[in-house]
Structure 1
């Protein structure tokens, strides 16, 4: 190197600052390479076209979208990173980011000492842009300024920040220049980030999950057709994986590793809920439980407690009030914790407001955590007590006073209540089994969920006999007999009702004895033994009058009127039905009032008084609609159709029949026009 002292020039190759001197030796540092094409290879990626389209519309240079950052959130293993990497590859291939792309894993869900701090992340990003380590400032604020200054002079660039656990971890990494774009992945909903659009990722549908299985097997061996050859088993695997891409990927890896294993065998192994998470683990490298562990470890004690105790509820989703009861907290605290778990994508909105659910695999994970919780049994008992209080609102021996609001309230928790009975039986809470089953009887009758009713009562009968509860047993026998009789299983129904009678007698329960008699009379009527039916109904009526139980008295009179009508004693039937109408109005029993009008209509039809019959049927249609008695409404349409047909109004009859069939088809209970549904 030579120097011209006059012109202050240095002749030679110099890197770095020029220092003015008469004689100087400059030793330059080695230039650091720029690394802005560091995307990993894309994983097996299926579906997500809608999400990719949304991202592309924002990443494209000519886009009108001025939002510089997208935060992709979702459940652990849902494919957030896969989506971000795939979208980034597409964008780079399209030439949208001439300044390059850089990706950094912030490890936000690792152990605290393993997470990448913003300062460390900035050091890596600056190094990727070619800044030598000795020129990277030690202070985080200085690193932020340098990072943003370099980006301001750089062509359009894409930054992918993976596994971000919170806004504080990523804010320092955001460019100051809106030309650049950032894709963020997080298990949390990063609502606190300014100028960031949120994209919550859901699980794959069954067809896409099956396509992922096919793709992974095809990479391992293009001739492997096991998934394609057994569509039913493949769809079953997809469902058992809950559409979670990580779980599907693990399942595929298990098949690839064992070429002789059938898809059906894998499905059978995953079907056992007790071992499903254990099965979804391939050599520890691909494991659903491990992914969930990282999120669970970040929860504070109250959040973790609510998550695992909520998983004890066996229903598809859980109401806010139920979670409050299970956790023994107040509604305000429950709401706050739910919001936090929702932000972490560990809880998701349920079927209606104030109902919450977990992904199936997350529920199994949380329930497994609950099994080791010393509070588990107490939490189950609190949940059962809560449901028992709920069903007491619909506990009536005849199902005659349930309002539409009560029925709809129970509708929301139907699956939970029925599953809770099974849980109570498995966990030894046998008194709850009996009380819940008897409490649900009126509701199950109202909705005509007869198969469910029979199954529940059979389970509860076993429990009642085990704990020597004759009162519960007697009431269950009456309910079981009534449900069986509605399905035409009269012999078994009669046996149940006859078994109940001596139990009520020994208990001294005259009203219960009368209820059993009243139900038995209805079975005698079904089996064409009217004299026995009349005797049972009259005896029951006298017991109810003596006890002053108006509702049961009205029920006995109603049944007695039906017997007289079936015997052709129309005038007597009409008189009895009119007496029932008066009592129902006095005691405010709209459902039985409507049924009485409907039966008067049937009686008038058989008397040839078609106009009067039609008026009575229509009267009940109005009442059934007001009371949200959908089954009653449809049954009345059937009766009205028969009356129209008898009156020679074939078109009106056909219209009523079609409407009734449509209603029955949409209902979960027994459909008289087709195969019975268990709901």
Structure 2
């Protein structure tokens, strides 16, 4: 079958990516449903016959914050797409969407996908010459109906893939023009090339071809002007000279040679213009078995999983149609070359070698500090000489060399190792066509083009494990015997990066006076760490390795990397980078893709990004050295403004409080946060960054921003019981408000201190002192919306200290103030806390009735977080009244509501109450299980509920001599609420 023609059968079902995505049945588009369903189908088609994980699908389709029910939504999409596709496929059954862990797979004849057919035509063209080559390339290009995935540009991941496929199209256009130039002068090519060069002004091959076309049509002066225009632009924008090939074309035109043919277009004469030229074996060529691998890398450890992937490429272990190419990609210093070389030696040596015809090796010099990258033509010359040809037998053109190289290796079993590749364009001519050959490529880039056009396997290398890093140090640091703790600390400071570990080992071995303790002290100082990780040769250093990658970035990506160095956090979102850079989300997404492709950053969950510790230190050095004071200040200002704005919006979603400052509008785009789940999730992810932002605000003397960030985070702190974790935030906020003389901010920060103190300890004099001080400021300010919560703070503090009469009067005043304001949440809060006073005073039935009123209020204005609080209070009160059935019912309701809104602390408290019920019923096993579940939920929290659970579990262990307690004994085993005032610390003052 012609590779340009889709297969017959199954109603001629065809999947089209090269343009707006569509699926055709009998030539008519199938309606695929929503935009998300179309995008899911496109993603599965791009990865045809490969499993796409659910996590990756979510990351691609829901760029940013996916909904809480995203996996259920995805299952629905897949189910509907199955019905549509299977219905269109009919009975043939070669198209299906299959569930396969960890995701889904589109099983399909690749010939039904236009992108696959374009690739096959490109492969066919690579083996042809003359007019036949141009015809095959035209056929491939005709499959494009427009820009790849033209309707999906707003998703960064799909846009990045589309850009790679468009790069393939442009390469095919260049190849087709080269083939047509070889046929002779054509005026039409000049017009086409003019348009292409205007669209791609820095693409040197197009300018080279335009210069040749102009020269062939007698426009020598125009050709020379084109060269000078590009030379000036390259110097101005990139600081580089034109490529050697372009300079050679310029010299030939300048000398007015009769025939100017670039090496890539030079082709042998064909005896029959209708048949492709076949490269014949070279006369006098003696087969040679090359052995070009560099020496093994000493001290190599680990990488077992990567070896397994590489082993899958070996001919004896490869599935039919499996890939013959692997790309080992990762950041500087990870040992990519060491992995590839050591594996190559392992599989090439010995009598059982699967590559008896030899190994070819080339360093492509993508990041060589002294020399430019090697051209494919030069590498092919090296390879052909290694295969036994003389210089005279090697043709001059890249096309001819590629064809000859593939002819010689066609039936050989060889291993080709290409180290430090620039991009897929540099590598493509060096790939043997024979499936009996295996190719391993290393690069700091991911080489997406090879993954798409050649189906290469990607091995993304990461740091060594802690154990492997320690083993590497012990192997290399001869004579050094570190303790286990010193070894752990040293590998941690080196970030488990092989290059850093090797340098550290070399320094200790080469300097007997340098102890491991001294080296640890030197590395522990972040300002000195990168400088310390260098060998005697200045080119061997972690900073130098990173420098080579950074200096080759395009200007916008380099600027974003410097701004990452301004951000003090470990992980950060695209949204904050967009704010700091003053760029649109789409622009930042593209720049992040560039940084990720060279492994200066890596993507994490929820659209976040992070870097290796040493890479982050390098970015911070750049931010200090290459950004001026104004740029750093602008970036820090935007960062603080971003976290302040989102925190205040999140605050209102968790708990809207009258009397709060108006929402902060920073003047740039913010991430979508419209629900309680999204707000809590954002705070969960950004808590550390929020702390950094508050510290930055203080350092920059932005005192209002400092206390407003703290106020924005206050409801979240109580929602998660981050009592110890928030001390710095609120202390800092209070100090900032006082420093700037901001009485309003001081009042709010004092109230935050009250709440934290109340949650931490029931009998808190500190809480009452803060509450009284806050009330005095509120009376001074004279606004009801500020006064009401201040009064409430005082009466809650008094109640927890047992001053019930004073507290009751304050509670009634607070309720009256909230009624005047028409503030229903405030009224609910006051009623709940009055119920707490009733409970403390032994009026349990009255407390129970008040809490039922509060529950009705919270359900009325739909506040699930506080509804869970009141349901837990009702469970406790029902237990005090001896109604264990009601106690269990309220606890189960509390747990359900808490789970629905992500209130993990309230879920834990509900589990505690359920455990109490089971213990009362004599079921110690179930009680213990519930309490242990609650403890797990509270991991990482400083909530006092943890101490209550520990006490219950300890008491249960003491009583474990009794296998099962009857109801009366079980009730006695747990102190009743009336006699356990200390446990009231876990009762939430709402």
TM-score, structure 2 normalization: 0.61
Alignment counterpart, residue 536 of structure 1, candidates 793, 805, 810: 810
- SS of the residue corresponding to residue 528 of structure 2 reads helix
How far residue 299 of structure 1 moved from its aligned partner, in angstroms, is: 1.0
1:83 counterpart = 2:339? yes
CA, structure 1 residues 274+505, in 2 after alignment: closer, same or farther (shift >3 Å)?
farther
Q: What CA distance in whole angstroms lies between the structure 2 residues aligned with 1:89 and 1:322?
A: 46
Q: What CA distance in whole angstroms lies between the structure 1 residues aligned with 2:646 and 2:330?
A: 34
Query: Within 5 A, what are the aligned runs for 1:425-436?
Result: 425-436=698-709
2:236 corresponds to which residue? none
Query: Within 5 A, what are the aligned runs for 1:15-414?
Result: 36-61=291-316, 63-64=318-319, 66-94=322-350, 95-110=353-368, 114-152=372-410, 155-193=412-450, 194-217=454-477, 221=478, 223-226=479-482, 230-283=483-536, 284-350=538-604, 352-371=605-624, 372-374=626-628, 375-395=631-651, 399=655, 403-414=676-687
Q: What CA distance in whole angstroms lies between the structure 2 residues aligned with 1:490 and 1:571?
A: 27
Q: What CA distance in whole angstroms lies between the structure 2 residues aligned with 1:470 and 1:200?
A: 54
Question: Residues 397 and 442 of structure 1 are in contact (CA less than 8 Å); yes or no, is this contact kept in structure 2?
Answer: no
How far residue 186 of structure 1 moved from its aligned partner, in angstroms, is: 0.5
Alignment counterpart, residue 880 of structure 2, candidates 601, 606, 611: 606
Please list the CA deviations of residues 597-640 of structure 1 after superposition, one character each: whole Å capped at 9, or x if unmatched.
Answer: 33233333323333333333333233223222221121123234
Q: What CA distance in whole angstroms lies between the structure 2 residues aligned with 1:48 and 1:387?
A: 40
Question: Residues 760 and 943 of structure 2 are in contact (CA less than 8 Å); yes or no, is this contact kept in structure 1?
Answer: no
Q: What CA distance in whole angstroms lies between the structure 2 residues aligned with 1:195 and 1:591?
A: 50
Q: What CA distance in whole angstroms lies between the structure 2 residues aligned with 1:495 and 1:621?
A: 34
- SS of the residue corresponding to residue 855 of structure 2 reads helix
How far residue 668 of structure 1 moved from its aligned partner, in angstroms, is: 7.5
Question: Residues 530 and 618 of structure 2 are in contact (CA less than 8 Å); yes or no, is this contact kept in structure 1?
Answer: yes
- SS of the residue corresponding to residue 345 of structure 1 reads coil
1:464 corresponds to which residue? 737
Question: Residues 398 and 552 of structure 1 are in contact (CA less than 8 Å); yes or no, is this contact kept in structure 2?
Answer: no
Please list the CA deviations of residues 304-355 of structure 1 after superposition, one character each: whole Å capped at 9, or x if unmatched.
Answer: 12222234333332222222222222222222222222222222121x2422
Runs of 4 or more, structure 1, over 6 Å off, are 31-34
Pairwise CA RMSD: 2.9
Alignment counterpart, residue 588 of structure 1, candidates 855, 858, 862: 862
Higher normalized contact order (CA 8 Å, seq sep 6+, divided by chain length) = 1
Please list the CA deviations of residues 271-293 of structure 1 after superposition, one character each: whole Å capped at 9, or x if unmatched.
Answer: 23233222222232421111111
Question: Residues 363 and 420 of structure 2 are in contact (CA less than 8 Å); yes or no, is this contact kept in structure 1?
Answer: yes
- SS of the residue corresponding to residue 159 of structure 1 reads strand
Q: What CA distance in whole angstroms lies between the structure 2 residues aligned with 1:558 and 1:67?
A: 66
- SS of the residue corresponding to residue 40 of structure 1 reads coil
2:46 corresponds to which residue? none
Alignment counterpart, residue 442 of structure 1, candidates 700, 715, 718: 715
Q: What CA distance in whole angstroms lies between the structure 2 residues aligned with 1:82 and 1:652?
A: 55
CA, structure 1 residues 492+286, in 2 after alignment: closer, same or farther (shift >3 Å)?
farther
1:519 corresponds to which residue? 793
Question: Residues 78 and 246 of structure 1 are in contact (CA less than 8 Å); yes or no, is this contact kept in structure 2?
Answer: yes
How far residue 234 of structure 1 moved from its aligned partner, in angstroms, is: 1.4
How far residue 435 of structure 1 moved from its aligned partner, in angstroms, is: 1.1
Question: Residues 888 and 913 of structure 2 are in contact (CA less than 8 Å); yes or no, is this contact kept in structure 1?
Answer: no
How far residue 471 of structure 1 moved from its aligned partner, in angstroms, is: 1.6
Question: Residues 624 and 632 of structure 1 are in contact (CA less than 8 Å); yes or no, is this contact kept in structure 2?
Answer: yes
1:8 corresponds to which residue? none
Question: Residues 520 and 536 of structure 1 are in contact (CA less than 8 Å); yes or no, is this contact kept in structure 2?
Answer: yes
Please list the CA deviations of residues 511-557 of structure 1 after superposition, one character each: whole Å capped at 9, or x if unmatched.
Answer: 33332332232222222222232233223223322333222222122
Moved more, 489-498 or 474-483: 489-498
How far residue 569 of structure 1 moved from its aligned partner, in angstroms, is: 1.6
Question: Residues 404 and 629 of structure 1 are in contact (CA less than 8 Å); yes or no, is this contact kept in structure 2?
Answer: no
Structure 1: runs of 5 or more not aligned = 1-28
- SS of the residue corresponding to residue 521 of structure 1 reads helix
How far residue 396 of structure 1 moved from its aligned partner, in angstroms, is: 5.3
Question: Residues 293 and 341 of structure 2 are in contact (CA less than 8 Å); yes or no, is this contact kept in structure 1?
Answer: no
How far residue 644 of structure 1 moved from its aligned partner, in angstroms, is: 5.0
- SS of the residue corresponding to residue 931 of structure 2 reads helix
Query: Within 5 A, what are the aligned runs for 1:6-21?
Result: none
- SS of the residue corresponding to residue 183 of structure 1 reads strand
Question: Residues 558 and 580 of structure 1 are in contact (CA less than 8 Å); yes or no, is this contact kept in structure 2?
Answer: yes
Question: Residues 798 and 806 of structure 2 are in contact (CA less than 8 Å); yes or no, is this contact kept in structure 1?
Answer: yes
How far residue 184 of structure 1 moved from its aligned partner, in angstroms, is: 1.0
Moved more, 496-505 or 61-70: 61-70
- SS of the residue corresponding to residue 76 of structure 1 reads coil
Moved more, 120-129 or 551-560: 120-129
Q: What CA distance in whole angstroms lies between the structure 2 residues aligned with 1:92 and 1:60?
A: 12
1:477 counterpart = 2:745? no
Question: Residues 751 and 790 of structure 2 are in contact (CA less than 8 Å); yes or no, is this contact kept in structure 1?
Answer: yes
Q: What CA distance in whole angstroms lies between the structure 2 residues aligned with 1:408 and 1:272?
A: 34
How far residue 593 of structure 1 moved from its aligned partner, in angstroms, is: 3.2
Q: What CA distance in whole angstroms lies between the structure 1 residues aligned with 2:654 and 2:331?
A: 46
Q: What CA distance in whole angstroms lies between the structure 2 residues aligned with 1:490 and 1:299?
A: 57
Q: What CA distance in whole angstroms lies between the structure 2 residues aligned with 1:553 and 1:197?
A: 62
Aligned length: 638
Q: What CA distance in whole angstroms lies between the structure 2 residues aligned with 1:650 and 1:145?
A: 78
- SS of the residue corresponding to residue 103 of structure 1 reads strand
1:25 corresponds to which residue? none
Q: What CA distance in whole angstroms lies between the structure 2 residues aligned with 1:491 and 1:263?
A: 50
Structure 2: runs of 5 or more not aligned = 1-283, 658-674, 952-984, 986-990
Question: Residues 32 and 132 of structure 1 are in contact (CA less than 8 Å); yes or no, is this contact kept in structure 2?
Answer: no
CA, structure 1 residues 594+188, in 2 after alignment: closer, same or farther (shift >3 Å)?
closer
- SS of the residue corresponding to residue 442 of structure 2 reads strand
Q: What CA distance in whole angstroms lies between the structure 2 residues aligned with 1:326 and 1:376?
A: 9
- SS of the residue corresponding to residue 281 of structure 1 reads coil
Question: Residues 327 and 458 of structure 2 are in contact (CA less than 8 Å); yes or no, is this contact kept in structure 1?
Answer: yes
Q: What CA distance in whole angstroms lies between the structure 2 residues aligned with 1:586 and 1:33?
A: 86
CA, structure 1 residues 368+509, in 2 after alignment: closer, same or farther (shift >3 Å)?
farther
Question: Residues 212 and 248 of structure 1 are in contact (CA less than 8 Å); yes or no, is this contact kept in structure 2?
Answer: yes
Q: What CA distance in whole angstroms lies between the structure 2 residues aligned with 1:376 and 1:553?
A: 46
Q: What CA distance in whole angstroms lies between the structure 1 residues aligned with 2:943 and 2:467?
A: 30
1:416 corresponds to which residue? 689
Q: What CA distance in whole angstroms lies between the structure 1 residues aligned with 2:700 and 2:287?
A: 66
TM-score, structure 1 normalization: 0.87
Question: Residues 315 and 436 of structure 2 are in contact (CA less than 8 Å); yes or no, is this contact kept in structure 1?
Answer: no
- SS of the residue corresponding to residue 97 of structure 1 reads coil
Question: Residues 296 and 338 of structure 2 are in contact (CA less than 8 Å); yes or no, is this contact kept in structure 1?
Answer: no
- SS of the residue corresponding to residue 36 of structure 1 reads coil
CA, structure 1 residues 92+593, in 2 after alignment: closer, same or farther (shift >3 Å)?
closer
Q: What CA distance in whole angstroms lies between the structure 2 residues aligned with 1:652 and 1:36?
A: 68
CA, structure 1 residues 552+297, in 2 after alignment: closer, same or farther (shift >3 Å)?
same
1:4 corresponds to which residue? none
Moved more, 433-442 or 252-261: 252-261
